[in-house]
Amino acid sequence: MLTTTNLRKMKKLLLLSFASVLFFSCSESEDETGINAIPKAEIVAIVNQTPETAGKGASASNKDVKRGSIYPWVSEVDMTFTQTVSAYAKAENFKLVKNNKAGAASNFVVKDIALGPNEVVVTTKTDSDQLFQTDFEKNGATSSNITQKLEDYKTINPYVLYNNTPFTQEIKAAGPNIVNVDLTTQHGRRISSLKWANDAIYKTEGYAMVSFIDVNGVESTQYKLEENDVAFNYWSNDDAVDGNEITIKAEIYSANGTLIDTFTRKIEVTASTSTTCSYIIKDDELFRESKVNLTFQEWVEINCTDC
């Protein structure tokens, strides 16, 4: 049986590369569904080894690796290989840097993984800001302005974390060993705009007090939405995970300040999907969605050419 003290391990070079896949999708405001398939990032590891005596185990070092085609919102990658018999663990942290950074490695390299069955765990970090942000623009409810604002929000790197389902793989002395890891995320993003419908009576004969309520019930500032005003909400944070919802709220008032009705609408996050919708307020119903045609830059899945 392998033990911590007599463990034979192999000094290894794990050559890893990420293949980018589609994350963002354009969702027209009529269906709000986005792309149902959950895109994944794939790690391919080619392991070459030379025998070496066991080290102290589970210490992690930080290494700079050129970003290549890895998503811009991924800032670091953590990998842990744990020998299931001895519990010897080897951990590595990789920091993604610009491709032209001097001294940065072109590949991910992990050394000193124990021979035998290893549980493989991979996670990522991000330096994207966590945002639940509501903006208001007076007289900003023109089609061109709304479209441009939504496009601007899309340029913000989303808050997204990836991980794999831990699995066990045999690391063999004969090598090379190939380790394939599928990384998935539960995070998604919602981008919304809200304005009056063109034919709404209270668009000209009253006003609305609108707000956005987060998953914890905390309400944003209320904004007075008059004839040609527009409100925007950007939601991408640790709470923006599959199935979670926020609420759009509009209190409809007459011109003399009498509360006519209160409308609410829940909007839900879909995993690995950025959903953009433009909502309008009707006099006699909740929110109806107006169609917004947006073109998103496509992310393409490729395999590395240097591994």
The string of pLDDT tens digits covering residues 127-167 is 999 999 999 999 999 999 999 999 999 999 999 999 999 99
The side-by-side arrangement of strands in the sheet containing 116-125 is: 60-66, 89-97, 76-83, 116-125, 167-171
- pLDDT more than 90, % of the chain: 55
Task: Judge whether 169 and 118 are in contact, CB under 8 Å.
Answer: yes
φ and ψ of 193, to 5 deg = -125, 155
For the chain, the average pLDDT equals 77
- Within its chain, how far is the Cα of 232 from the centroid? 20
Task: Judge whether 127 and 67 are in contact, CB under 8 Å.
Answer: no
For residue range 47-103, list pLDDT tens digits in order: 222 223 233 344 444 689 888 888 899 999 999 999 999 999 999 898 999 999 999
Residue-level pLDDT at 302: 42
Task: Judge whether 265 and 194 are in contact, CB under 8 Å.
Answer: no
Report the distance separating Cα 176 and Cα 174, nearest Å: 7
Residue-level pLDDT at 137: 98
Average pLDDT over residues 20-41: 28
For residue range 236-266, list pLDDT tens digits in order: 999 999 999 999 999 999 999 999 999 999 9
Task: Judge whether 142 and 103 are in contact, CB under 8 Å.
Answer: no
Residue-level pLDDT at 37: 28
Higher pLDDT, 264 or 26: 264
Q: Is 222 exposed, middle or buried (0-12, 13-18, 19+ CB in 10 A)?
A: middle
Is the pLDDT at 7 greater than 80? The verdict is: no
Question: Tell me, what amino acid is at 53?
Answer: T
Residue-level pLDDT at 69: 81
Residue 293's pLDDT band, with cuts at 50, 70 and 90, is: very low
Predicted TM-score (pTM) of the model is 0.75
Whole-number CA gyration radius for the chain: 25
